[in-house]
Structure 1
Amino acid sequence: MPDEVLLDNYHNKGGHIHPNPENHKEEMKIKHDTQKENLDIIIFHINKNKELILKEIIKELK
């Protein structure tokens, strides 16, 4: 993940993404709580697109 994107699974909130970590209050719920499942989605996305496309990865994680 780029430094400007943060995946999070603590705070008792379940899996969520901070698309703008400078504003840590901004977060979006994602479907998986485990790092392994989210990492598999991210790796597949990057291999398919040859880069991380933020709007698309958020959709894939939700």
Structure 2
Amino acid sequence: MAKTAGFPDLLRLIDERPVAFRAAVASAPSPEIRVPTCPERTALDLARHLGEGRRRWAAIVVAGA
């Protein structure tokens, strides 16, 4: 059974993963390059998709309870 990460680890991942993703997209030879694990998407498609999700979650956090 997998152990769930603690809150501090989850916050760290929220900070680190987007930085790594941004670096990967920035180093791509073209925004139109196909993503190997999602060949139906380009790097630009994936960046937009993840950005939309982050904006949605940010709006939920800002809205509060």
Please give the range of the TM-score, normalised by the shorter of the 2 chains.
Answer: 0.3 to 0.5
Report which of the two structures shows the higher radius of gyration computed on alpha carbons.
Answer: 2
- TM-score, structure 2 as length reference: 0.33
- TM-score, structure 1 as length reference: 0.34
Report which structure shows greater RCO (CA 8 Å, sep ≥6).
Answer: 1
When you count helix as a share of all residues, which structure comes out higher?
Answer: 2
